[in-house]
Amino acid sequence: MRAISLFFCKINFLDRNRVAEIIFNDGELLNLKKITELHRVLLNQYSSNSFYLLINKKNSYCYTYKAQLRLADLSLIKAIAIVNYTKINELSTNYIMNFGKKSTIKHKSFYNRESALNWLEHISYTLPFLTL
């Protein structure tokens, strides 16, 4: 596993099935500039190949309106697993993933990290990677 720390999050690049785990810093306000930087790092890591996201919500943070619209707006993302540790986090996740336009990215919420990773592993076998 390789990790990169940005000033607003940590990204763990997991060896199994091209998964990037994102852990945002506690108390962070995510704006469009930060989401754009996150996308830049992900694109740099995966080049033009598809990948999967694991968003680990172990910390509390919030989004601006523009950041909400852009968070999952990256065509190379094949699926997103979100680890929510509380029911409130799950409700927030469902709202954000369905906010604005309908997301075509397959996504699912979980209450533990291992279940989320297992789902992504299963999805990786059913959704073949696209190389652009």
Residue 132 lies in a domain: no
What is the number of structural domains in the chain?
1
Count how many residues are written for the chain. Answer: 132
Say yes or no to pLDDT of 93 above 60: yes
| Partners of 5 in beta bridges | 10
Residue 9 in contact with residue 22, Cβ under 8 Å?
yes
Residue 96 lies in a domain: yes
Region 79-91: what's the mean pLDDT? 85
Residue 46 in contact with residue 71, Cβ under 8 Å?
no
Nearest CA among 24, 22, 125 for reference residue 78: 125
Rounded CA gap, 52 and 127, in Å? Answer: 11
Q: What is the pTM of this model?
A: 0.86
What is each CA distance from 89 to 31, 62, 65, 132, in whole angstroms?
19, 11, 17, 34
Say yes or no to pLDDT of 64 above 50: yes
Check residue 17 and give its pLDDT. Answer: 65
Supply the range of the domain harboring residue 60: 2-126
More confident residue, 97 or 8: 8
Say yes or no to pLDDT of 98 above 70: no
HEC assignment per residue over 25-91: CCCCEECHHHHHHHHHHHHHHHCCECEEEEEECCCCCEECHHHHHHCCCCCCEEEEEEECCCHHHHH
Residue 76 lies in a domain: yes
The CATH number for 24's domain is 3.30.750.24
Residue 131 lies in a domain: no
Residue 65 lies in a domain: yes
The share of the chain scoring above pLDDT 70, in percent, equals 86
Residue 116 lies in a domain: yes
